[in-house]
Amino acid sequence: MLVSVSSLILVCCLVLKGDAACVDRQIDTALPPQVDTALPPQVDTALPPLPDNSSQSIGSCTFTRDCQQWQFCSNIADAACVCNLGQCVIAGNPFFRGSECGNFTDCDCAADPATCFCRGGFCRAEQWECHTSQDCATLAKCTGRECACTGNTCEADCNTDADCEAGEFHCNSALGYQCECRASLCEYKRKEEECAVLGDCVAAGRCVADLPCACTQNYCALPWWVENREQELNCRTSQDCTDSILDCQAGDCSCVDLRPIDKWETRGKCAKRPQLPFLPPPPKIQSKSDFVFN
């Protein structure tokens, strides 16, 4: 039989001292209370939780581009906000696509097209704006303008290319593309290639010779570590200067004034190394008579 130490002490105490004394003298052999080493509770700076389903509204809208006014939509990742029937809702699942349908006609609910849609490969008995662009004509937001059905919502981005250029559309900033208005939507249009080497960008006036630039995938752009052309801290090492600045391609620039920008990285600015003064070569000595002694 196993007997604990505390039980033996209690028995001895009862024999020698009596009950009352032992009650006050029992030795607490339990482990001391643990020190709470957990991190303090973090301040919750996250956005509100994702809506439970695509029908839960985030805010009002007319077209999908209006949803960017809502903070939730402007910060969301791995999905998107779209404007469906005047409300911004979550749409899209980039990690999984169903196999129930390729079109709403594959679904059991197909007899009622107004409330039957194929969304991400799944049949959904819910209401969206359109199956085809012709459906958009019934919506008030498309009165007097041509709308296009894309992703089961009716959109009208533009009438001309200039409308796309003036708007905040991704095709304006995607490398190698520009926006083009097609069927009321701002679509991606591939640009002609701009460069083969860095010097081509400078020659075309897209970059300047003494500031960072890059010929990336045959298009003139900024190096990935530079946010804007006038950025003061524009290098991580001297090699960055050689690679990204035409005037430094001879290898005569250094990355100087390095400063920490976070715990892991430092950045500096490219500068030409100072030139040593020119010294003429010493005269050649042909014979002993060339030496002059004073």
Assess whether pLDDT exceeds 60 at residue 262: yes
Over range 38-47, report the average pLDDT.
45
Over range 55-71, report the average pLDDT.
85
- pLDDT confidence of residue 255: 96
Over range 17-23, report the average pLDDT.
46
Over range 54-83, report the average pLDDT.
84
Q: What does the alpha-carbon distance between residue 23 and residue 14 come to, in Å, rounded to a whole number? A: 9
Over range 51-68, report the average pLDDT.
76
Do 38 and 109 form a contact (C-beta atoms < 8 A)? Answer: no
Express each pLDDT in 218-237 by its tens digit.
999 999 999 888 889 999 99
Give the tokens for residue 135. Answer: 């459906």
Instruction: Report the Cα 218 to chain-centroid distance in Å.
Output: 23
Give the tokens for residue 95. Answer: 């990690």
Over range 98-125, report the average pLDDT.
94
- pLDDT confidence of residue 23: 43
Assess whether pLDDT exceeds 80 at residue 16: no
Lowest mean pLDDT among 36-40, 89-93, 204-208, 280-284: 36-40
Could you tell me which residues are beta bridge partners of residue 150? 153
Give the tokens for residue 259. Answer: 């400063």
Do 145 and 172 form a contact (C-beta atoms < 8 A)? Answer: no
Ramachandran area for residue 144 (φ above 0: left; ψ -120 to 50: alpha; else beta): left
Lowest mean pLDDT among 87-96, 104-113, 163-172, 232-241: 87-96
| Higher pLDDT, residue 53 or 203 | 203
- pLDDT confidence of residue 74: 80
- pLDDT confidence of residue 294: 55
| Higher pLDDT, residue 27 or 98 | 98
Express each pLDDT in 177-210 by its tens digit.
999 999 999 999 999 999 999 999 999 999 999 9
Instruction: Report the Cα 196 to chain-centroid distance in Å.
Output: 28
Assess whether pLDDT exceeds 90 at residue 152: yes
Q: How confident is the model at residue 271 (pLDDT cuts 50, 70, 90)?
A: very high
Do 70 and 58 form a contact (C-beta atoms < 8 A)? Answer: yes
